[in-house]
Amino acid sequence: MCGIAGTWNVDDSYNVLHDVLLALQHRGQQSTGVVINGFKSVKGEGLVHDVLTDSNFVEGKRGIGHVRYSTYGSINEIQPITAYTFKGTFSVAHNGNIIDADERRKYVMENGGIFSTTLDTELFVHYFSLAPYRDPKSSLQWTLSRIPAAYSLVMLHSSFIAAARDRYGIRPLFYGKFGDGYVIASEDSALSSIGCDDIREVEAGTIVFFSDNTPGPEIVTFSQKDSHFCSFEFVYFARPDSNFFGVSVHELRKRLGMKLYQEHKVIGDIVVGVPDSGFSGAMGYSHASGIAMDYGLIRNHYVGRSFIMPKDRQEIVRRKLAPMHSVIQGKEIILIDDSIVRGTTMKVIVDMVREAGAKKVYVGIHSPAVIGPCNYGLDTSRRNELIASENEEEALRELIGADGLFYLSTEGYKQVFEECGVNGICTGCFDLNYPI
């Protein structure tokens, strides 16, 4: 879970990277790093505005940046990473997971390779150096053709910037025109938010080079495209105002909500979205069913900073969400969420809604139950309620104490993507149908 960004021929690239990474903050909150041309880096644990402060400003017209969900305790372990080689100096940052990173790393080390971090990112550096070309661009092509998946990547070389996606296109990547230059980002909404024009997707299996000698972006295909975009980017990971393949995330979530109603036809008095992840799906459910949507739960924005220590996880949820008695009292409530991260959390929510006077509480999830892990960079360990059979679904319903629990079927799920014109998605965690 990461966000990446880049700039080419953009004044005060540091500031622009700051703003783009800020707009990608939901993709990673633990560490932040940028490298500006001349290979000056600014890195640190923490949020974008904690690390990329005014006083750390570095002058430069090109650069790359990264935000990350987790850090391994050391400042050296923060991307981008920089390497000095006989093919030039360069920095690289990526979003994703190199699948067989451990074996590849061991192999390189046994051949005398020296790593300066424990990040799988550093494999790109070694492959780049090992590539049987003098030319850095060819070396990068060779590198990416040798490492199949799963990454989106930005690279700052002394003579160019590159944005690339693996052949399966698992993680997203976009670029857009910004003044006389270009800006790269994991999501298009980050580009829109700073005023970019002509925003395009980096195609799976291609590198987009921005070079000194070439007027515009130069697109190079290093592998045949075999599209398997992570559908969870749509379901819960991306911002609602982002688009993939020209399809609005909010719109697709709404469609999932509609399909959920069509499959289950669960009826009640009020549809309530679990804040904020369930709002779009709840709206879809409401539109499809004609049942009014209302704010039955209000998020308390500051709870993460409270001083009174809640005794347990349940207590945290209770302080994070306020039930609206006037909305819930005496009603049959259909709670909609994108997925169930923890059954214990959903149990507290159901309890709260019941205590606020709900007659019935039904829980609808607008994606299928997760039954397998993700090897492509998503932390599914948080999705710890893996469900493999209907028995287990019933057990979960009992655990959370709902009057009903219903998921979208994998077929229905896939259908919505197809209807929206999104083909070639990865649904491995739902149906164990892993593309690689």
Tokens encoding 299: 């998020």
Q: Say which residue the tokens 């829980």 belong to.
A: 363
Q: Which helix (DSSP H) or strand (DSSP E) does residue 395 occupy?
A: helix 390-400
Tokens encoding 335: 């709670």
Residue list 27-46, contact with a copy of itself (CB under 8 A): 39-44
Rounded Cα–Cα distance for residues 29 and 131 (Å): 34
Task: Please tell me whether residue 434 binds a copy of itself under the rule CB under 8 A.
Answer: no
- Strand-pair category, 332-337 with 321-323: unpaired
Task: Please tell me whether residue 158 binds a copy of itself under the rule CB under 8 A.
Answer: no
216-67-316 Cα angle (round to 5) = 145
Shortest distance, position 220 Cβ to a copy of itself, whole Å:
23
Task: Please tell me whether residue 114 binds a copy of itself under the rule CB under 8 A.
Answer: yes
Shortest distance, position 265 Cβ to a copy of itself, whole Å:
19
Rounded Cα–Cα distance for residues 348 and 332 (Å): 17
CB-nearer residue toward a copy of itself: 357 or 404: 357
Check: CB of residue 366 under 8 Å from CB of residue 256: yes
CB-nearer residue toward a copy of itself: 23 or 405: 23
Residue list 166-205, contact with a copy of itself (CB under 8 A): 189, 192-195
Task: Please tell me whether residue 248 binds a copy of itself under the rule CB under 8 A.
Answer: yes
Residue list 289-318, contact with a copy of itself (CB under 8 A): 292-295, 298, 300, 302-303, 305-308, 318
Shortest distance, position 342 Cβ to a copy of itself, whole Å:
22
**Which residues lie closer than 8 Å to 32 by C-beta, 6 or more apart?**
21, 43, 44, 46, 47, 48, 50, 51, 52, 65, 66, 67, 68, 78
Shortest distance, position 384 Cβ to a copy of itself, whole Å:
27
What are the CA-CA distances from residue 242 to residues 182, 188, 252, 311 (Å)? Answer: 19, 6, 11, 37
**Which residues lie closer than 8 Å to 284 by C-beta, 6 or more apart?**
253, 254, 255, 256, 257, 258, 259, 260, 261, 366
Map residues 382-411 to x or -, x wherever contact with a copy of itself holds by CB under 8 A.
------------------------------
Task: Please tell me whether residue 84 binds a copy of itself under the rule CB under 8 A.
Answer: yes
Shortest distance, position 210 Cβ to a copy of itself, whole Å:
20
By CB under 8 A, name the one of 9, 25, 138, 211 that touches a copy of itself.
Answer: 25
Shortest distance, position 197 Cβ to a copy of itself, whole Å:
13
By CB under 8 A, name the one of 46, 70, 75, 102 that touches a copy of itself.
Answer: 75
Check: CB of residue 311 under 8 Å from CB of residue 338: no
Rounded Cα–Cα distance for residues 311 and 333 (Å): 28
Whether 2 is a known active-site residue: answer: yes
CB-nearer residue toward a copy of itself: 41 or 206: 41
Task: Please tell me whether residue 127 binds a copy of itself under the rule CB under 8 A.
Answer: no
The 10 Å Cβ neighbour count of residue 372 is: 16
CB-nearer residue toward a copy of itself: 324 or 436: 324
By CB under 8 A, name the one of 129, 211, 380, 409 that touches a copy of itself.
Answer: 129
Check: CB of residue 304 under 8 Å from CB of residue 316: no
Rounded Cα–Cα distance for residues 409 and 166 (Å): 29
Residue list 322-381, contact with a copy of itself (CB under 8 A): 322, 324-327
Q: Dihedral through CA 212, CA 13, CA 124, CA 382, nearest 10?
A: -150
CB-nearer residue toward a copy of itself: 42 or 266: 42
By CB under 8 A, name the one of 64, 123, 125, 271 that touches a copy of itself.
Answer: 125
Task: Please tell me whether residue 109 binds a copy of itself under the rule CB under 8 A.
Answer: yes
CB-nearer residue toward a copy of itself: 39 or 69: 39
Task: Please tell me whether residue 269 binds a copy of itself under the rule CB under 8 A.
Answer: no
Catalytic residue annotation: 2
